[in-house]
């Protein structure tokens, strides 16, 4: 009984970090929660007599669970030829245990890891993803990572290095596109609020699709004067718009942009889906990352 109490206390102590590891590994809050629960089941069956570093031991267990889930996901995708990979989504999870990262560290991670990570991680192999996330985001040693994936420390280092190059490459090529899209969304909201029909037509592709609405004249008519309460936001790291009521998001507007024109606007209102989104409200005209 005393051992079970000790396990419960250690698990509760490290649970926020374990959930953060799982979320960054899997990109989904639901799957992250499943991984943490599965890890707890494994912890309850484990022999803790030789455990000297409970935090590292628990992180290893969660990482192995996540690796299995990533490999199963990859298998499902290979069996579903042509299916698009699911988009990672979820509420913001701190990348570090409380008190171990200052604003400068968080800003650096946002630039080099945050948005680019969500874009690129699904293209990595499970082993690459695990090595990169554990080492670059959570500072786990390559020796520990190698033990998790049954590779040498040198091999784990190579996996992380390969993944890092791809993430950094995505960051350098996607910043300009994200900035341009942000400008377009901000301009769309301004035109919609002011009822500037001509400006809306200029921003919309002639064949734009908004639900059942087709064509830029119909879409401009629909949106003219209607975005008074919508706010510019990052939704899962991508420029979008959010309408909230009493501080709670009620609708999310996501934009598809091609060649500088809005080709599609999707409006999401499902409460369960909205709760799973990482929504950061932005100040209009503010070009700094939140």
Per-residue pLDDT tens over the stretch 57-67: 899 899 999 99
Of 278, 283, 284, 286, which is closest to residue 115 (Cα–Cα)?
A: 278
Cα-based torsion angle of the residue sequence 140, 146, 152, 155 in order, rounded to the nearest 10 degrees = -70
Q: Are strands 230-235 and 213-214 parallel, antiparallel or unpaired?
A: unpaired
Q: Considering the domain boundaries, does residue 112 fall inside one?
A: yes
Tokens of 283: 């100040």
Residues 37, 137 within the same domain? yes
pLDDT, one tens digit per residue, over 219-277 is 999 999 988 889 998 887 788 999 988 778 899 999 999 999 999 999 999 888 887 77
pLDDT for res 64: 92
Residue 280 pLDDT class (50, 70, 90 cuts): confident
Tell me the average pLDDT across 125-149. Answer: 90
Looking at the fold, whether 119 and 7 belong to one and the same domain comes out as yes
Residues 169 and 184 in one domain: no
Domain hosting 142: range is: 2-173
- Which pLDDT tens digit goes with each residue over 151-182? 999 999 999 988 888 777 666 555 555 678 88
Higher pLDDT, 290 or 160: 160
Q: How would residue 78 be classed by pLDDT, with cut points 50, 70 and 90?
A: low
pLDDT of residue 194: 94
Model pLDDT for residues 98-119, shown as the tens digit of each residue: 334 443 343 334 444 444 455 5
Give the list of residues 6+ apart from residue 101 with CB closer than 8 angstroms, or none.
Answer: 94, 95, 109
Which pLDDT score is estimated for 174? 56
Give the total number of structural domains in the chain. Answer: 2
What is the four-CA torsion angle of 245, 251, 252, 258, rounded to 10 degrees? -130
Residue whose pair of structure tokens reads 């119909």 in the numeric block:
218
- Specify if 290 maps to a domain: no
**Statement to judge: residues 31 and 149 lie in one domain:** yes
């Amino acid at each position: 009984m005393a051992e079970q109490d000790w396990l419960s206390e250690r698990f509760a102590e490290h649970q926020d970090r374990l959930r953060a590891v799982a979320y960054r590994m899997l990109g989904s809050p639901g799957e992250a929660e499943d991984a943490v629960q599965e890890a707890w089941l494994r912890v309850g069956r484990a022999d803790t007599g030789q455990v000297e570093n409970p935090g590292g031991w628990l992180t290893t267990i969660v990482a192995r669970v996540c690796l299995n889930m990533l490999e199963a996901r990859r298998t499902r995708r290979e069996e579903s030829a042509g299916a698009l990979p699911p988009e990672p989504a979820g509420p913001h999870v701190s990348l570090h245990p409380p008190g171990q990262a200052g604003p400068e560290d968080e800003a650096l991670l946002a630039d080099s890891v945050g948005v680019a990570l969500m874009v690129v991680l699904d293209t990595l192999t499970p082993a690459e993803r695990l090595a990169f996330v554990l080492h670059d985001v959570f500072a786990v040693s390559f020796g520990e990572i190698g033990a998790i994936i049954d590779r040498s420390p040198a091999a784990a280092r190579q996996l992380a290095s390969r993944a890092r190059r791809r993430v950094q490459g995505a960051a350098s090529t996607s910043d300009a596109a994200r900035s341009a899209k942000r400008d377009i969304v901000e301009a769309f909201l301004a035109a919609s609020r002011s009822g500037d029909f001509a400006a809306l037509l200029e921003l919309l592709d002639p064949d734009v699709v908004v639900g059942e609405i087709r064509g830029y004249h119909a879409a401009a008519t629909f949106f003219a004067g209607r975005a008074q309460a919508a706010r510019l936001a990052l939704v899962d790291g991508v420029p979008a718009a959010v309408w909230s009521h009493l501080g709670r998001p009620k609708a999310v507007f996501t934009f598809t942009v091609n060649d500088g024109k809005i080709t599609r606007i999707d409006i999401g209102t499902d409460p369960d889906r909205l709760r799973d989104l990482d929504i950061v409200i932005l100040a209009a005209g503010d070009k700094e990352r939140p």
